[in-house]
Structure 1
Amino acid sequence: MGTGKRSLVATAVGLVCAVTVLGGAGTAFASPAPTPTPTPTPSVTLPPNRDLEAVRKRLERLYHDAAVATDAYNAAEEQTERQSTEIVELAREIVRGQERLAELKDRAGAAARAQYRSGGLPPEARLWLSDDPQAWLEGVGRVRQGQKATKGLLAEMTRTQQDLEQYAQDASAQWKKLDTSRKAKAAAQKKIKEQVAAAEQLESQLEKKEKERLAELERAAAYKAQTSWLGSGILDELNGKATAQGKKAVEFATDQIGKPYVWGAEGPDSFDCSGMTSAAWAAAGVPIPRTSQQQWAQLPRVDIQDMRPGDLIVYFDDASHIAMYVGDGAMVHAPRPGRTVTIAGAGSMPILGVVRPTV
């Protein structure tokens, strides 16, 4: 093995040792991140004439952008966990391969020493020097067996060495992917904090009566959307009954009512929107993707008219929010930072579509 390849393997093994020590056997590894520099809170001012409807729409946009960033954060979090686990496994393969290579080298050395002790003479020469032809014939058989075993030993050493080189290259590639995922995660985290801080700053400029009025405007907007949705006659067409698993998922989701929204959280004390839906279906024995965009992209889609309790309703064109339908035109969801898991009208936000974790 060349110096460069030996260095690559050594680097990979060192990486594995660090992973094993810091992450523990079978756990995900999170490499030390640089100390973050404080992000200044963006300056957000009230619109002219303190227009509360404009404030409501601006807050809606800020929290929507935070939800998009949360999805990106959750996806990057999943990737870093998966990639670090793969690095740990590659590291173990490297360690096992090195142990096997050392064993093979010991065996090759033993074979070479045995040949040296026999004098290193070819079988023909030993025939002329032997007084016992029968013993010589038996010796030739043993020599041929030994030669065959030696060839097999050398071939296995070559394969093991090639495997080590491949493992080292794979570990290096995975490390680069992990670094990319960590950067994406950090960028998403920064974006979330900026959007939430801007929303909180905007709300902090409101007086008590303005905050109460703003809350009324939010409820009115949700009520208008829900009324319009119900006015389409959708409930008359909804007759799907929940499955046993769907009932378990709904029961879990509704049991979380009152728990705070926290971005990136998936229980048990707090949730974000997709953290709640994925946890609910996990409690029903059905694992589903972690983020709302993944749930929309990967789960089977059903027509709204066929929706039944336990199905997941995906909102907004970018699938940035998700909730669970519980029946009678209602859904349960984790709305946004500053709010808690709650029951709301299923049509209170723009519906992109419906997905079903089970068929």
Structure 2
Amino acid sequence: MSEALLRELVPAVIGVLVRRGASFATAEDAVQDAAVEALRTWPREEPRDPKGWLVTVAWRRFVDGVRADDARRRREELVDAEPRPEPGPEEDDTLQLYFLCAHPSLTPASAVALTLRAVGGLTTRQIAQAYLVPEATMAQRISRAKRTIADVRLDEPGDVATVLRVLYLVFNEGYSGDVDLAAEAIRLTRQLAAGVPHEEVAGLLALMLLHHARRPARTDDDGALIPLAEQDRARWDTRLIAEGVAILQAALARDRLGEFQAQAAIAALHADARSHEETDWVQIVEWYDELVRLTDNPVARLNRAVALGEADGARAGLAALAELDPNLPRYAAVAAYLHERAGDPATAARLYVAAAGAATTLPERDHLTRQAARLNAQERG
């Protein structure tokens, strides 16, 4: 039984139940129950029509719930006239589910959880494991999200930008537990791109592919982080890079630049360089200028300072950094790197220690601690 197939079918089956009269919340619950049943029974005997099987089981779960709750007569009439799964293609509401699950009224955390469950087809347990929280906590988060959007119609127009931010949040979570969230985000973004001919959807997909291509080289066998400058570029996935570049070029040709296209262009320039030294840092700075113009994002300004330090020298990077808030995430790490490049290892070592103390992940903390220890050892030597 292909779990990937099951995940792909979940949003379409939710749409079928909603069109038959179920609310989004009850439809989503019923389809999740059906998915759990499929995981239990399909390994022994996968049905010839997996979607029809899911529709039938999910509809029966919904019907049972209506009966148990002593629903209104209109729904009882739906029960008495239980429809059979129609042969042939049905309308696919997956795109509307993207918009619904990323509704602006939801918090980012709730939107991510609901998207992974209703559109991604993951179980609450899988999502909880991926985010390293108790299953009960994740179940409450999803329940609150469904209550928040209870009155939102499935056919209401959605905001593509909000959907993209939710998918980007999923991608940046990377990998934990038995669910690869980066791969799941790419799958969902591919699905979205197939239904939405939007430049920024293509830009986000290209960005994900280009970043994901470097994943095999990001850590060593012990799980320690390897900085971009030190990565073995022979381990980068050239197939993903080629695909990402092609998607980006097609998006840029439409001449409607957005922030994800700009970020993807920066990633493409890194992917194109045969070594760190051969990177076109001048062009990367120009793309960061575009990104700052589009977003005025302080993190983009922080990354621009790094690129400027590579293009024009560490002192130029430090001058750009001085204009930013020192409380920004990774500020101390960037300052440490630029001070080391500027020939001030003592200040760099002190800043690496400070950056390690503010790190949000164990691999990042360990990497920064090693950098400080390396410089301190050089000073003593």
Q: TM-score range by the shorter chain?
A: under 0.3
What is the TM-score normalised by the length of structure 2? Answer: 0.22
- The alignment's TM-score, normalised by the length of structure 1, stands at 0.23
Q: Identify the structure with the greater strand proportion.
A: 1
User: If each structure's helix is expressed as a fraction of its own residues, which one has the higher value?
Assistant: 2
